Amino acid sequence: MSVVQTRDGKTLHYKVMGEGAPVILIHGWPLTGDMWEYQTVALVEAGFQVITYDRRGFGHSSHPATGYDYDVFADDLADLIDHLALPKVALVGFSMGGGEIARYLGRHGAARVNRAALVSSVVPYLLKTDDNPGGADASVFDGIKDDLRADRFAFLQEFAKQFYGVGWVTSPVSKGVMDWSFALAIMASPIATIACVDAFGRTDFRPDLPGFTIPTLVIHGTADKTVPIDPSGRAAAAGIPGAQLIEYDGEPHGLFATAPDRLNADLIAFLRAA
């Protein structure tokens, strides 16, 4: 098991696979770095070095009681890049993982990043406010936390159905994928699972958008009910100069598993253009 110690003494579990230009894949809530299985295989076979890691509180990384905010997450990413001595790296973030990219660029700059991809990402801002009327009401995030406290396991099983569009997408995932996702999700600390709802639901990444000074790809499903495309993917593409937006018509949130071949092809084409 490979681990890196963070600046505040926690450990992050990571994996490095393949040879070639390095790409860090940053996972979404409430999963682990292993959610990138389809993309890892495709990218390694395409000649890239793939790095995945478990966010603090998730998977095999440390499960502290506090520290679940994006300044800390961005510093964790910086510590991983430093540990691996990567002079230049591409960053790909799914859902909550897109927030790490935004805050990393806003906090640490883009000197060591050559491209960024936001997939079904929470960037730039999910919370409904006077200046963000298309966001979700705070009660949505409060309700998720209440449900997690009441029965985390039942919530995660139901959440996966919306996550993958079970019942409405043209290519729903198998029961095996659903079971796999549940197994990854329950590895997380319950404290981290709850705390990160506020992190991804209430963090405003709009001040971080000027940090995207590198080529940026935004991919989002038009039928995403978990992170609707208007306040996220479309708003991010509009707020990042020169960003390329690819909309996956009819795809749900978890398009890494519902449309893996298309996502892999789009990521490889984008990364090869570096």
Q: What are phi and psi of 221, to 5 degrees?
A: -85, 140
Measured CA to CA, the distance from residue 97 to residue 10 in angstroms comes to 19
Contact 188, 59 (CB under 8 A): yes
Q: Can you give the pLDDT at residue 239?
A: 98
Beta pairing, strands 21-26 & 48-53: parallel
Q: Can you give the pLDDT at residue 120?
A: 98
Nearest to 61 by CA among 110, 108, 1, 102: 1
State whether the Cα torsion 190-251-268-212 is positive or negative.
negative
> What is residue 228's three-state secondary structure?
coil
CATH class belonging to 2-272: alpha beta
Average pLDDT of span 160-167: 93
Going by pLDDT thresholds of 50, 70 and 90, the confidence category of residue 171 is low
Alpha carbon of residue 75 to chain centroid: 16
Q: By percentage, how much of the chain surpasses pLDDT 70?
A: 99
- Digit-coded pLDDT (tens) for 194-217: 999 999 999 999 999 999 999 999
pTM: 0.97
Q: What are phi and psi of 16, to 5 degrees?
A: -120, 125
Residues assigned a catalytic role: 95, 224, 253
Average pLDDT of span 84-101: 97
Nearest to 14 by CA among 68, 89, 70, 71: 89
Average pLDDT of span 228-247: 98
> Token pair for residue 181?
């996702």
SS3 content of the chain, % helix, strand, coil (to 5): 45, 20, 35
Contact 99, 76 (CB under 8 A): no
